[in-house]
Amino acid sequence: MKTYDKLKFEMDRLEAQMEEAKKRERAEALKKVKQLCKEFGFTAGMLQGVLAKGHNRSPKTFGVYWLESFIRPMPV
């Protein structure tokens, strides 16, 4: 059986790996968003307030929600 110290060390190491993976995935997602914005001609003004949580959808920004379907992974 592993000791508490060994388990704590493993947990800390895994948490650090999780944090690095999260940073890498966020960077990749941002890169994908930038690529799609460039491809479809979206501007920062079109996206303003739409990507932040808590904002209401309006007809003016509806096209951005169409863009979200490219960002979300498809179910397997």
What gap in Å lies between CA 23 and CA 11, rounded to an integer? 18
What per-residue confidence (pLDDT) applies to 75? 58
Query: Tell me: the pLDDT tens digits for 6-54?
Result: 999 999 999 999 999 999 999 999 999 899 999 999 888 887 777 666 5
Q: Does pTM surpass 0.75?
A: no
Query: Tell me: the pLDDT tens digits for 23-32?
Result: 999 999 999 9
What per-residue confidence (pLDDT) applies to 57? 54
What per-residue confidence (pLDDT) applies to 66? 57
What gap in Å lies between CA 25 and CA 68, rounded to an integer? 16
- DSSP notation for the chain: ---HHHHHHHHHHHHHHHHHHHHHHHHHHHHHHHHHHHHHT--HHHHTTTSSTTPPP-GGGHHHHHHHHHHSPPP-
